[in-house]
Amino acid sequence: MSFDEIPQMLVTGLSLGLMYALIAIGLTLIFGVMRIVQYGHGEMYMLGAFFLYYWTAKWGLPYWLGVAASASVIFVLGAILQQTLFQAVHGRNILYSLAIGMGLIFIFSSGGQIIFGTTVKGIPKFATGGILVMGGFLSYERIVISIVSASLVVGLWLFLQKTRTGMAIRAVSEDPETSALQGIRTRQIHWVAFGLGSALAAIAGCLMGTLLSIVPTMGFVATIKAFMIVIMGGLGSIPGALVGGIILGMIDSVVTTVISADIAIIMSFVVIFLILVFRPSGLFGQQWT
Amino acid sequence: MHLLETRNLTVRFGGVTAIDNLSLTVGEGEIRGLIGPNGAGKTTFFNAVSGRYPSSGEIRVRDHVVSGLKPNEIVAQGLARTFQHVTLFKSFSVLKNVMAGCHLRSGYSFWGALLGTPRTRQNEADNERRAREILDFVGLGGLADETAANLPHGLQRAVGIAVALASEPQMLMLDEPCAGMNTAETRSMSDLIRRIRGNGTSIILIEHDMKVIMGICDQITVLNFGTKIAEGSPEEILRNTAVHKAYLGSAADAS
Amino acid sequence: MLLEIRNIRVHYDKIEAVKGVSLQLGKGEIVTLIGANGAGKTSILKAISGLVRPSAGEILYDGADITRRSPSDIVARGISHVPEGRRMFKLMSVQDNLRLGAYLIRDSKVIAEGLAWVYEHFPILKQKCNQLAGQLSGGQQQMVAIGRAMMARPRVILMDEPSLGLAPIIVDEIAAIITTLKQSGLSIVLVEQNAHLALKLADRGFVLETGSVTLSGKSADLLGNPEVIRAYLGA
Amino acid sequence: MEAKSNMAAPRSSWRPSRRTALKAGAASLIGLSAPAIISGRAFSAPKTIKIGGAVPLSGPVAYWGISTMQGFVDGAAVINEAGGVVINGEPHMLEIINYDTKGETADARAATLRLVEQDKVKYVYSQAAASTVGMLQVTEPAGVLSIVACWGYLKLFGKDYPLHFRAEMSDYEQGFAYIPFMQEHYGKDSLKSAAFIGPDDQDGKDCNYSYQRLMKYYSIEDKGSEYFNWEDTDFYPIVAKTLRTTPDFIVTSPTPPGITGSIVKAARELGYKGPIASPAASETKTILEVVGELATDVVLPVTNVDPTTPSQVAIRDRFMKRFGDFNALAGNYSWWIYSLKAAFEAAGTADDPKAVAEALGNVVLEDTYCGKVAWAGEKSFGVKRQGVYDCYTTLIENGKARLADVRFPALPADY
Amino acid sequence: MKVEQGTAAAQADGKGNAAPPSLNRYAWAALFAFTLAYPAAVSFDNYLLHVGITIAFNVALAASMWLIWSLGLVSFAHAGFMAIGAYTSALLLTKLGWPMWIGMPLGAILAGAAAVAISLPLMRTRAVYFFMASWSVGEVIKRTIAYFDGLTGGWNGVFDILPPTIDLGPIQINFADRIAYYYLAVVICAIIVLCIYRINDSRTGMIHWSISENELLAEHIGINVFKHKVIGFTIACVFAAVTGALYAHYQTFISPKSFDIWKSEFALVHIIVGGLTTVGGPVVGAISLTVIDETLRATGPFRVILFGVILIATVLLLPGGLETIPGRIRRALRGRKSS
């Protein structure tokens, strides 16, 4: 490894980490509020990306409007899934939500292959070219996408801190009963948070899909990544998801460049294992019992 | 030789000192009441002694230092406890709950259990007999096959005590055994506690129901803010103004 | 009567925690429920605020039946509940906790007035308004809990064990606040183990034992009644 | 059927024309599976020859499996309409049975067992290495002829597996077409070294093996190989690492088109100027979609994206009509069944896979989607079981693709 | 992942109202008898025998994962330990020529040792965190095997893992024969299920459930929770390794991909659909879902979708899983009688 590769590694790792974090934050939000694991979270990511694909490539509509539209559609889908499937297992053993999530993976990824076709697709670009940052190359696309994901993370944080609904979400994830005593309709917060989490995944899908390519089966990999990050950072913790995402992005980038990709993925699992052994509730987690 | 002795026991959570340099001795065959206002550190004391919380200072059982042992090792030393909130294996039958409690004092080998050797079968039969004896003793003999979760609150508490008794303790630590009971249930619980002592088991008792405390305790220790503020016979405690003030609230002075 | 409870029963699975309790609360009145742990006091409050559904009986508020309303609806009608153990949102700031109390109020001016009221009555909270609620002392948390309930502009406050685990001096402070609340025209249902404190503050009292009212009357009468002292001290 | 129409429903507002096509495709799939369920109980009027597919119809590699299946379904329909396979003057209808393998070895084995043991199929086809490996555990001992697309696993190929045919060219065979083309196009001197990027699984390792043999044959310096994980989402790190070795060109195989696109994009953005060849498993359209303007000097053998010859156009049109979908891979796979038909007729039997295999080895088709097709490999493998056909090489320049070269691979004398 | 074990258990007809054990025993005996008669019942159809063998593997896997679940834990390291057993036995055969009869026990021992070593840190984690940590363990095992391709063949996998033979003079059995392997698989699977049944039925099982039900109380009645968790986990991993070896010699080919996350996930799905509270749950779940999966094979692209629909429908419409069906029927009958 030569010295001048370090900026490239860091820059790549950071931008990757931010996007991972975006998927993971949605998952952590859903867990925090409902205490269920949405194992099919990655499918929202996939569907979001495909929506944008049809929006831009097929109907030729503007890109950023498409991202917003995708987020809204998946928000509604997430809310519907919560109401129809997940509300029924709320409060029951977490395994049941896991099983429903698995069912959703089967249905969406395979249904996606039938509806969208099995070919790999690419979402048209909104920018080309790039600049050198301290010796690391950054395409404009990547810069914009990183900025968007970073500002979404900040925006979500502000939303949760400042707005009435955001505070209600935090309150419900801390103590549903006391929240109800403040007049918060906890069931409503459930679907709002579920929709919001799904919408975040959809946005991540749009951004990642633009940067890379999309297939109907890409959701499960996203679920795995999100799950790794969320557990590493601590379930229900948004800073945890951010830090976890960046750790994973950095491992992917640095270890792949320095050693190789297969070592990188082994390493990321080892790191998660070690984090959990020394901090049994993740980096920022609380013990949910 | 004391059955239980703590020397300068201290428990801290973060910056808060829940138990502050508490030294306490309980003799054999004694029923000791542990009272104090809510948040005085009574349950924390139980948690520290039973090995659930880490503590500094020293805890001795019959002069053996047990500080730092894990809960299951402390039970093996003869110190059993119950919990403030009903804590049972709720989906088990009552009998099975008590049999689980008997596990500690009965022979068990993994391979024996797997293969179902005659010895294991003997053990299990003994175990069940023991468990039924204990259930009869606490007056639950007729409910052995009920699922614990389906019992009324008062009986669940009694099952909790039966489970603790099943480990054949020399000392039993009861955390609010009468909480949420009606007068009749409370009376039979007091009765049960006396009978347990009659079998030679010492008891430490946390209880809010003063009738119980005053009625059955030999000695009472009063805690407030993690320190001992009084100790003595029920009569002495009743007369102690510091206790009045701490326990009944400041308005007690005015009344 | 502002709030009237008629013969309610509360079940947790098979356990009956409240066995037909009736009580009334007048405007500007403090009523206290006293009794040992597990007597059913908290269950009654939870039934009023909609956290548990009574299996029988009815709850009337301001003439309307609110027996099976959702908690948020009941809050909106003007009944706030200060739960046992204060139940802070520990990871949120004091100010956010207070704001959550005004969750159903959309008018920012009203919220600002509410905050001003709380800070006026609990000056210490103003200093600590940006601290996490979990870091406050017990007494300060109790102040936040009461302030949070007041933020909803209630007409009735249900208070569950406000003196729990607090030092005597702080208990005095809380007692003073309760008196202030009463003077400002609020009606209060006070659940307490500290019988002396409760009866000193309340107009009327109900003594509960295992889910039923065994004794009730004017506080002054109950204070002098040896039965109550017996219930508490067993002496 | 209920599920199918629900699946199709959301599309109605988008593109009605495709919806009907999709319905037709789905219906034909259901129709296909129906005889499978009631197999053996079909009418016995005209004789039938059953051909079984153990292919990935779901899971991550369904793309390839479905394309292959489409080739067989379309071919069988065409052949049956034209009077079927005529063996000794007697017409035989073709019946296709498909079972899903999810692209997993054990699953493929189970599917093949069902085909061979329950449906009594004597001719099977499969797709992708994992499914092929599972299939071969069954077919060869059972005396069943198999046609697959699979690279590597060479020890499962050759003399000891006389009934096993590999219809798709591996990188190795393709190499004898696209490397000469690249040498002509870019000049021999500017292609002195190469590097390899592939997936970290058996397919990747297989292709790497082909790649190394090729580099040796053409005396090109091998600058090393990198493997990515299927879980990877960003290819900057791996491309950056590859570029450190300064290769003259890069081979990405059998990397799926989306990932190839990402690799091309990363390489261009990181300042790499040389050609990138993506033999096997690639596809032009996706790469253009993913990379856009930056896609230049991408060499894609065997993918004739826009059909040119009349028979290619006919195949595309039929596929569009029948499945609502067409991709170059499905076109590529469409000749397998015609070669089988020719073999049945040449062997004069459909009951003896050994005889059919002998005949199949000698089948040469002149006008398929891949142009001329023949079986080769006698010297390398001891049997003529490796399909070789015209290599259509597409070149992408500045975001535009054009068919740059068509040639039959110049196999070395000892192949 | 021990959230509300109690609810599930209570739904499943708690111990109090459970069927008399004798009836239970009849059901097991009937199942076993059917298993033995199965080859004849399907008139020795090789493919259906294959389905039977697959079911045996899945039952063994689900049952051993359920043993871990009885401690209140969900382990996704299962496929990893299966891989250890499979690879040990396969490599001993292909590299050294040692038969499965040696390879399988050695694989089991190796997996057991690995399980003990890994569970020392692993048992520090709880609930969902345990789930993820065990998942990591499984992934690391799989990828480590792939990484050392000189020894293990890497992603290419191992070929020619011949089924074992028995040669005792007069008795000679070649397990390459499907019927012979069917009985081998069934016998080993039955032994595994029987062991788990015995464990669950004995004191050990009571200890497991008490830990799962209330770890705090279990500790305070003198149960060494940590020790029992390690032992239970290790036994289950040993069973997984045995199944792995059996699997390898049947498939004759294994690669790291054979032991990916889906192996563990399907075992978990079998448990959830079958039921969480009795050994019957994983057994019934594995049998029914494997049959469904095989039946759906012919639906091509719809196979996975339909499987997903069935999975979700079962979870929503049949809380507690298939094992609750007898209880439901009994209750329905009783309801009709009383009315």
Residues spanned by the domain of E211: 4-8+45-258
**Same-domain check for residues D260 and D401:** yes
Q: Do chains D and A touch (3 or more CB pairs under 8 A)?
A: yes
Beta-carbon-side half-sphere exposure of residue A253 (alpha carbons within 13 Å)? 23
DSSP letter string, B195-253: HHHHTT-EEEEE-S-HHHHHHH-SEEEEEETTEEEEEE-HHHHHH-HHHHHHHH-THHH
Nearest CA in chain E to D61: E301
Which class would CATH give C23-52+69-232? alpha beta
In a domain, D20, yes or no: no
User: What confidence score (pLDDT) does residue E337 get?
Assistant: 62
Residue with tokens 């009631």: D38
Domain locations in chain B as residue ranges: 1-78+169-255, 86-168
Fill in the DSSP letter of residue B170.
S
Residue ranges of C 151-180 with Cβ closer than 8 A to chain B: 161, 163-169, 171-172, 175
Mean pLDDT confidence for E14-24: 50
**Same-domain check for residues D340 and D228:** no
pLDDT band at D5 (very low <50, low <70, confident <90, very high): very low
Ranges A118-122, C23-27, D216-220, E325-329: which has the least confidence: A118-122
Task: Give the domain CATH number at D403.
Answer: 3.40.50.2300
Reported as a single tens digit per residue, the pLDDT across C137-196 is: 888 999 999 999 999 999 999 999 888 777 777 888 889 999 999 998 999 999 987 777
What span, in angstroms and rounded, lies between the C-alpha atoms of C30 and C25? 7
**Which of D230, D226, D282, D229 has its CA nearest to residue D255?**
D282
User: What confidence score (pLDDT) does residue B252 get?
Assistant: 40
User: What confidence score (pLDDT) does residue A210 get?
Assistant: 86
* Contact (CB, 8 A) for E64 and E194: no
The reply to whether residue E253 touches residue D133, judged by beta carbons under 8 angstroms, is: yes
In a domain, D19, yes or no: no
**Same-domain check for residues D52 and D146:** yes
Ranges A54-63, B170-179, E7-16: which has the least confidence: E7-16
- Residues of E within 8 A of B115 (CB-CB) are 198
Ranges B206-210, D273-277, E288-292: which has the least confidence: B206-210
Asked whether the predicted pLDDT for residue B34 surpasses 50, the reply is yes
| Å between A154 CA and nearest CA of chain D | 23
Asked whether the predicted pLDDT for residue D3 surpasses 50, the reply is no
**Same-domain check for residues D251 and D330:** no
Residues spanned by the domain of D262: 171-301+393-407
Asked whether the predicted pLDDT for residue C75 surpasses 70, the reply is yes
CA quadruple D313, D316, D318, D321: dihedral sign: negative
User: What confidence score (pLDDT) does residue D18 get?
Assistant: 41
Out of A96, A270, A272, closest to residue E315 by CB:
A96
Reported as a single tens digit per residue, the pLDDT across E240-283 is: 999 999 999 999 999 998 998 889 999 999 999 999 989 999 99
User: What confidence score (pLDDT) does residue E12 get?
Assistant: 37
pLDDT band at D261 (very low <50, low <70, confident <90, very high): confident
In a domain, E193, yes or no: yes
**Same-domain check for residues D67 and D209:** no
Q: What is the CA radius of gyration of chain A?
A: 19
**Same-domain check for residues D201 and D101:** no
Asked whether the predicted pLDDT for residue C76 surpasses 90, the reply is yes
User: What confidence score (pLDDT) does residue D356 get?
Assistant: 94
- Residues of A within 8 A of C72 (CB-CB) are 180, 183-185
The reply to whether residue E305 touches residue A114, judged by beta carbons under 8 angstroms, is: yes
Reported as a single tens digit per residue, the pLDDT across B49-76 is: 998 888 888 999 888 888 889 999 999 9
User: What confidence score (pLDDT) does residue D73 get?
Assistant: 94
In a domain, E169, yes or no: yes
Residue ranges of C 11-70 with Cβ closer than 8 A to chain B: 13-15, 36-39
Asked whether the predicted pLDDT for residue D165 surpasses 90, the reply is yes
**Mean pLDDT taken over chain B:** 86
Reported as a single tens digit per residue, the pLDDT across B142-176 is: 888 888 888 877 788 899 999 999 999 999 999 98
Higher pLDDT, B209 or E78: E78
In a domain, D13, yes or no: no
Q: What is the CA radius of gyration of chain E?
A: 20
SS3 string, B106-153, reads CCCCHHHHHHCCHHHHHHHHHHHHHHHHHHHHHCCHHHCCCEHHHCCH
The reply to whether residue E133 touches residue A91, judged by beta carbons under 8 angstroms, is: no
Query: Looking at chain C, which subunits does it touch, using at least 3 CB pairs closer than 8 Å as the criterion?
Result: A, B
Cα-flanking dihedrals φ and ψ of residue C157, to 5°?
-120, 130
**Is the bond leading into D254 cis (omega within 30 degrees of zero)?**
yes
Out of B153, B238, B250, closest to residue C168 by CB:
B250
Share of chain B above pLDDT 90, in %: 35
pLDDT band at E9 (very low <50, low <70, confident <90, very high): very low
pLDDT band at E114 (very low <50, low <70, confident <90, very high): very high
**Same-domain check for residues D42 and D101:** yes
Mean pLDDT confidence for D185-202: 91
**Same-domain check for residues D184 and D270:** yes
Out of E50, E298, E300, closest to residue D113 by CB:
E50
Mean pLDDT confidence for A247-272: 90
- B49, B89, B111, B143: which to substitute to probe chain E, counting the most E Cβ within 10 Å? B89
**Mean pLDDT taken over chain C:** 87
Asked whether the predicted pLDDT for residue B255 surpasses 50, the reply is no
The answer to whether the B1-78+169-255 and B86-168 domains have the same CATH topology is yes
What span, in angstroms and rounded, lies between the C-alpha atoms of A268 and A251? 6
The reply to whether residue E257 touches residue D130, judged by beta carbons under 8 angstroms, is: yes
How do B79-81 and B171-175 pair as beta strands? parallel
Cα-flanking dihedrals φ and ψ of residue E257, to 5°?
-65, -25
**Same-domain check for residues D149 and D175:** no
User: What confidence score (pLDDT) does residue D28 get?
Assistant: 46
User: What confidence score (pLDDT) does residue D25 get?
Assistant: 47
What span, in angstroms and rounded, lies between the C-alpha atoms of E261 and B128? 43
User: What confidence score (pLDDT) does residue A270 get?
Assistant: 93
What span, in angstroms and rounded, lies between the C-alpha atoms of A150 and A249? 14
| Domains: count for chain D | 2
**Buried/exposed code over E300-330 (b: 16+ C-beta within 10 A; e: otherwise):** bbbbbbbbbbbbbebbbeebbbbbbebbeee
Asked whether the predicted pLDDT for residue A246 surpasses 70, the reply is yes
In a domain, E338, yes or no: no
Specify whether domain B1-78+169-255 bears CATH 3.40.190.10.
no
| Domains: count for chain E | 1
Reported as a single tens digit per residue, the pLDDT across B89-148 is: 988 999 999 999 998 888 888 888 888 888 888 888 999 999 999 999 998 888 888 888
Reported as a single tens digit per residue, the pLDDT across A117-132 is: 887 888 887 777 777 7
Query: Looking at chain B, which subunits does it touch, using at least 3 CB pairs closer than 8 Å as the criterion?
Result: C, E
**Same-domain check for residues D344 and D202:** no
pLDDT band at D281 (very low <50, low <70, confident <90, very high): low
Reported as a single tens digit per residue, the pLDDT across D39-92 is: 444 444 678 999 999 999 988 888 889 999 999 999 999 999 999 999 988 999
The reply to whether residue E214 touches residue B90, judged by beta carbons under 8 angstroms, is: yes
In a domain, D414, yes or no: no
The three-class DSSP label of residue D20 is helix
Domain locations in chain C as residue ranges: 23-52+69-232
Tokens encoding E302 = 């719809």
The reply to whether residue B249 touches residue C233, judged by beta carbons under 8 angstroms, is: no
**Mean pLDDT taken over chain E:** 88
The reply to whether residue A277 touches residue E139, judged by beta carbons under 8 angstroms, is: no
User: What confidence score (pLDDT) does residue A144 get?
Assistant: 87
The three-class DSSP label of residue D205 is helix
**Which of C6, C33, C36 has its CA nearest to residue C21?**
C6
User: What confidence score (pLDDT) does residue D398 get?
Assistant: 85
Share of chain A above pLDDT 90, in %: 54
**Same-domain check for residues D245 and D360:** no
CATH of B86-168, one of 3.40.309.10, 3.40.50.300, 3.40.640.10, 3.40.190.10: 3.40.50.300
User: What confidence score (pLDDT) does residue D22 get?
Assistant: 45
Asked whether the predicted pLDDT for residue D400 surpasses 80, the reply is yes
What span, in angstroms and rounded, lies between the C-alpha atoms of B5 and B27? 9
**Same-domain check for residues D45 and D147:** yes
Mean pLDDT confidence for A14-37: 90
pLDDT band at A267 (very low <50, low <70, confident <90, very high): very high
